[in-house]
Structure 1
Amino acid sequence: MIDLRRLHVLRAVAHYGTVTAAARALHFTPSAASQQIRQLARDLGVDLLEPQGRGVRLTPAAESLLAHADAIQARWEEAELDLRAAEDMPAGPLRVTGFPVAVSVLLAPMAARLRERHPRLSVRIRETGVAESFDLLFEGESDLAVVEATPRNPPPSDARFDQRPLLDDPFDLVVPDGHPLAGRERVDLADAAHEPWIAPVPDSPCRPHVMSACGAAGFTPDVVHHALDWNATAHLVAHGLGVALIPRLAGLTPQLPVTRVACTGRPHRKLLTCTRRGGHRRAAVAAALEELRALVPTAVA
């Protein structure tokens, strides 16, 4: 019989990419994690890892085993949901994660509404990056995440997660007050092609959206400043140091001398809700998703 604890170590190696990273997430030493996988391989009589450069990669046998392991995990989640089916009122802890803008605009008001309507439910919010949100879901440390759709995310077909569209967050061109483009109701990004630009830092999830939007308008922006925080970006714009694309959900410091202008073609980023497979059926998660959907129309108005 397969030892499910050893199988979980193999799943972690596949998720995190290395034995060392998996061991760290599981609070093992790398040697202990490796021993668990070696023992699982001996139990099954197949090789599960093979050398690749200085690291290792999963063998075809391991990939096949993981498909079954993900199915087992999903069935276990379903079994737990079925056992709790009679508990149809949201109650207990609900652990939610999201990136900073999602926490401010969506998760905070969601938690406040849930506190009023479901007093037996205790919402616990944790601000995280997109990748960490998926890690916490995988580890069972989170029940629901609001994430940006990025090329680095697990694909929608990933059997471990249930990813669903929540909203499209449009990007506005942000320019200093008094800028020639500030008086327009809508602007073609090509009209800002010769401006100095302020862009997200290279590893930001929004960086590809900004570069793609400019590319679709026929130019590569002259990026002279980089910022991680949207308010930092807006302050750079306010001082006349460039223009920027900023998501509409991002709240900016009041009274900043900047103007948001809608863009033709409506460049945007997609926000998703994500649970472990089948997790949206939990009463607490379902209640949270209902509140999030109710917040969408006003969030991007």
Structure 2
Amino acid sequence: MNLDRLRTLYAVARHGSVSGAAEGLHVTTSAVSQQLSKLERETGQQLLAKNGRGVRLTDAGRLLSDHAARILSQVELAQSDLEAQRGHAVGELLLGAFPTAVRGLFPAALERMRAEHPELRARLQEMEPDESVPAVVRGDIDLAVVLDWYNKPLPVPDGLVKAALLDDLVDVAMPADHPFADRCAVEPEDFVDDEWISWPEGGFCYDWLMVTLRGKGIEPHIRHTAREHQTQLALIATGLGIGVIPRLGRGPVPEGVRMVPVSPPSMRRHVYAIWRADADRRPSIRAAVEVLRSVGEKIVD
């Protein structure tokens, strides 16, 4: 049986649809369908059946998909061993990272990877942790840069390895005419009566903000939400509220906004890399982590 066709079947099982598999494999839906048709001819079994407007795996399809998962894992181990024996980073490395890491960490990191490891071809996708963690588990990407908060860990599934890259401090952003704008440091309890600019409801960072403020006896008044920190800062600059803004990838602070540290400086995000344990020996993984950590240390300094 053809390995690429087994990989395609496994992708359909992981994503639950032909279109999802096509997106994960970076091919067309037609290409996925063709590969599956050829695999059915090779095996002499029907692997997919219609299910409403979509498809589902037959019993034979699920059985073969389970075998494909083990086969592909073994191939990953073989590739890791071969790359490790070669002793230097080569080939393609698929990366995912949350937006402020893409902006604040990766421009310098990718430049260094290209200079120090010319045979390594890194390809980066912007992804939130709730997308990138499953993508690593599925094998759609090789390494993800993710985050959690000092008081709200991000669950990491079994079978993944992680390495700390940096701790990202946060400040309270407020309009320049706010009563606390000239302070050297503030505490969340200072803002019990303020309106907040937050991340959208349901997201990991929104949940963290709610847990943190409510843990201090504050029921926050969330007036506006925005995903991008620059958008939050633009709203804050017009006097529409205050917000908690991490430093990584923050960019220029608009006129009319003051950034005041939280005291004590314990409010922070932990930024780290994750990858599959069966790829742990790959020099390309190790090289990427080393570069990311080195760049992160300079940002912290």
Q: TM-score, normalised by structure 2?
A: 0.75
The verdict on how the C-alpha distance between 1:183 and 1:265 changes in structure 2, with shifts beyond 3 A counting, is same
CA distance in 1, matches of 2:294, 2:134: 27
The letter of the residue matching 1:169 is D
Q: SS at 1:73's partner residue?
A: helix
The answer on 1:221 being equivalent to 2:220 is yes
Q: SS at 1:186's partner residue?
A: coil
Alignment of 1:1-301 (within 5 A): 8-9=7-8, 11-18=10-17, 21-22=20-21, 25-26=24-25, 27-28=28-29, 32=33, 69-118=68-117, 120-130=118-128, 131-134=130-133, 137=136, 142-149=141-148, 155-157=156-158, 159=159, 161-202=160-201, 204-254=203-253, 256=255, 257-264=257-264, 266-301=266-301
The letter of the residue matching 2:195 is P
TM-superposed CA distance for 1:290, in Å, is 0.9
The verdict on how the C-alpha distance between 1:21 and 1:84 changes in structure 2, with shifts beyond 3 A counting, is closer
The letter of the residue matching 2:166 is L
The verdict on how the C-alpha distance between 1:24 and 1:94 changes in structure 2, with shifts beyond 3 A counting, is closer
Q: What is the percent sequence identity of the aligned residues?
A: 31
Contact 2:8 2:32 in 1 (8 A): no
CA distance in 2, matches of 1:214, 1:192: 10
TM-superposed CA distance for 1:181, in Å, is 2.4
Cα deviation digits, residues 147-205 of structure 1 (max 9, x gap): 23499987421x3x434443333332111224222333332212212101101123544
CA distance in 2, matches of 1:258, 1:292: 29
The Cα RMSD (Å) is 4.1
Q: SS at 2:181's partner residue?
A: coil
The letter of the residue matching 2:258 is V
The letter of the residue matching 1:258 is R
CA distance in 1, matches of 2:219, 2:72: 45
CA distance in 2, matches of 1:290, 1:241: 41
Contact 2:143 2:273 in 1 (8 A): yes
Contact 2:18 2:33 in 1 (8 A): no
Q: TM-score, normalised by structure 1?
A: 0.75
CA distance in 1, matches of 2:6, 2:89: 32
Structure 2 portions without partners, runs of 5+: none
The letter of the residue matching 2:124 is R
Contact 2:7 2:72 in 1 (8 A): no
Q: SS at 2:85's partner residue?
A: coil
Contact 2:18 2:29 in 1 (8 A): no
Contact 1:18 1:56 in 2 (8 A): yes
Structure 1 portions without partners, runs of 5+: none
CA distance in 1, matches of 2:263, 2:57: 45
Contact 1:200 1:226 in 2 (8 A): yes
Moved more, 17-26 or 161-170: 17-26
The letter of the residue matching 1:129 is M
CA distance in 2, matches of 1:220, 1:58: 47
Q: SS at 2:86's partner residue?
A: coil
The letter of the residue matching 2:249 is A
Q: SS at 1:96's partner residue?
A: strand
